[in-house]
């Protein structure tokens, strides 16, 4: 099993926020339910639901401060991993520069689509993680 602890941005009572390995959308994160038997969003307890809304709000504001995100997409799909988690996808109307890399949202105004050819260096990934962690204190 893969160790995701190196991607941790912040831990909450019911949720973990991890930076996504593919930063094709600058600041993209995974919001992971800590309860092992939670399969999809409809399984979330009332406490998990309340905290999730708070987590997403905090993450939204942190991403706006850190990277000036213009919009956010949220996806709870479960197609590849059968566990309650959500994809937090910042969207940008114009290119952003971070750590010497230009991030361009080619699908602005449309559904997001992961570019599996986009490679995020470990150094840039860590810089994104630390920047979000700083904003989330």
Cβ within 8 Å of residue 40, ≥6 positions away: 76, 78, 84
How confident is the model over 58-69, as pLDDT tens digits? 999 999 999 999
Please state the pTM of the whole predicted model.
Answer: 0.94
Q: What domains can be seen in the chain, in order of their start residue?
A: 5-136 (3.30.428.10)
Alpha-carbon distances of 120 from 11, 14, 38, 49, rounded to whole Å: 23, 28, 30, 31
How confident is the model over 74-108, as pLDDT tens digits? 999 888 888 999 999 999 999 999 999 999 999 99
């Amino acid at each position: 099993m893969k160790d995701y602890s190196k991607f941790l941005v912040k831990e909450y009572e019911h949720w973990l926020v991890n930076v996504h390995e593919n930063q094709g959308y600058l600041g993209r994160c995974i919001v992971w339910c800590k309860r092992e038997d939670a399969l999809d969003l409809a399984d979330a307890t009332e406490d998990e639901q309340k905290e999730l809304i708070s987590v997403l709000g905090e993450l939204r504001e942190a991403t706006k401060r850190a990277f000036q995100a213009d919009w956010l997409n949220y996806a709870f799909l479960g197609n590849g991993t059968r566990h309650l988690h959500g994809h937090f996808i910042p969207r940008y109307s114009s290119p952003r520069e971070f750590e010497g890399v230009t991030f361009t949202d080619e699908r602005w105004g449309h559904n997001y689509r992961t570019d599996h050819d986009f490679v995020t260096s470990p150094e840039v990934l860590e810089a994104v993680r630390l920047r979000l962690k700083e904003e989330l204190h």
